Structure 1
Amino acid sequence: MTAQSKLVKKPTAIHDVFVLEPKVFGDERGWFTESFNAQDFASVIEQDYEFVQDNHSFSQQWTLRGLHYQMEKTQGKLVRVVTGAVFDVVVDIRTQSPTYGKWCGVELSAENHQQMWIPPGLAHGFLVLTPTAEFLYKTTDYYDPKSEACLAWNDPTVGIQWPLPEGVSPNMNAKDLAGLSWDQAPKF
């Protein structure tokens, strides 16, 4: 954190993926935080990205979305939760990365105010842990359905340990259920 920055950057198990903790100011009335400040973000990530699209999703408990990425118009994502909690997951599909083939998961919640920075070249998804959740994310490029790919959420090679209770299957759409295996999924 720089002297003027209101963000704390914490590394994850994936190269260049960070959990960001904004400063939260609270008193008896409630709390306030800057959810995004371009100067602070650029100073802690040590690279300047331009965000072009904001997305907002609402999901029921045990909904699993992902693992999505775009082969063209690759998207960096700054993600956070404003209601509820999710288990947010990234998989490194950058063949030249020191963490290629690895995954990491972080609980993001309205309560902890944490955000995750996911640079371009990673597959991303999340599982809703609470009765409902609202998930917000800023992207560095526009949605491009022609170049979208989906890695299977339960691929045994990747081996993600989703925190699903025993006997509970995730709620998924047909596109995500048809995700590609690690061997079939295109990589960067």
Structure 2
Amino acid sequence: MRVVHSELDGVLLFVPQPSHDRRGLFTRTFDATIAAEHGIDATAFRQDSQSRSQRGVLRGLHGRAGRGESKLVRCAHGAVHDVVIDARPGSATFGAQASFRLDDRDFAHLFVPAGFLHGFQVLTEQADVCYRIDVEHDPTQDLAVRYDDPTLAIEWPLPVSVLSDRDAGAGSWTDLRDRLS
């Protein structure tokens, strides 16, 4: 497994090395030893979740207040354009963003440390996204920022086809930034 360090401190991309033969492929999608070598405690994950969405659907931008939550995210079926934003006050990359393609061809896992906002848009007809999260969900700690916030100017690859009511009503990056600072 290859590990790619993002330009955002703590954000890692774990890229498996599938073995292909006439039957198809086999790949290790997670390795606790390799994760530990990069500072991730595999035993800390408390919850596994999965979403299924159609082309153009956008989920996010979501985060958690308080101690936050770390996530290990992968696309088990289809492809998504995944975006993370550093929302850690005092971080050298506070407010910076990075994007990644997660798909069922490369099987990359994106590690999103606590203190980041996260969202994705579905690029294929359908996509299943799996998350391993290190804290139990507490809705009172939910944070959300609008996907089309002009200050962030995120370049989503497709027109947005569907948003949840929560995401459509999310606040601005400026308001969240001021609350966090």
The equivalent residue for 1:179 is 170
State the identity as a percent.
Answer: 34
Q: CA deviation at 1:152?
A: 1.2
In the alignment, does 2:126 pair up with 1:135? Answer: no
1:31 to 9, 16, 25: 25
Instruction: Show CA shifts across 1:88-111 (max 9, x none).
Output: 010101111111111111110001
TM-score by length of 2: 0.93
In the alignment, does 2:79 pair up with 1:88? Answer: no
Q: CA deviation at 1:73?
A: 5.0
Q: Does structure 1 retain, via aligned residues, the 8 Å contact 2:58–2:160?
A: no
SS at the partner of 2:93? coil
In the alignment, does 2:95 pair up with 1:101? Answer: yes
The equivalent residue for 1:56 is 50
Instruction: Show CA shifts across 1:18-54 (max 9, x none).
Output: 11101212211111112222222111x2343511110
> Closer, same or farther in 2 for the Cα pair 1:123/1:84, shift >3 Å?
same
Structure 2 gaps of 5+ residues are none
| Distance in 2 of aligned mates of 1:170 and 1:99 | 31
Q: Does structure 2 retain, via aligned residues, the 8 Å contact 1:24–1:33?
A: yes
| Distance in 2 of aligned mates of 1:34 and 1:88 | 21
User: What amino acid is the match of 2:10?
Assistant: D
SS at the partner of 1:40? helix
The equivalent residue for 1:117 is 111
Q: Does structure 1 retain, via aligned residues, the 8 Å contact 2:67–2:115?
A: no
Structure with the higher helix share, 1 or 2: 2
TM-score by length of 1: 0.89
The equivalent residue for 2:15 is 21
The equivalent residue for 2:69 is 75
| Distance in 1 of aligned mates of 2:134 and 2:180 | 19
| Distance in 2 of aligned mates of 1:64 and 1:106 | 14
| Distance in 1 of aligned mates of 2:113 and 2:130 | 16
Moved over 3 A (4+): none
The equivalent residue for 1:159 is 153
| Distance in 1 of aligned mates of 2:180 and 2:126 | 32
Q: Does structure 2 retain, via aligned residues, the 8 Å contact 1:73–1:141?
A: no
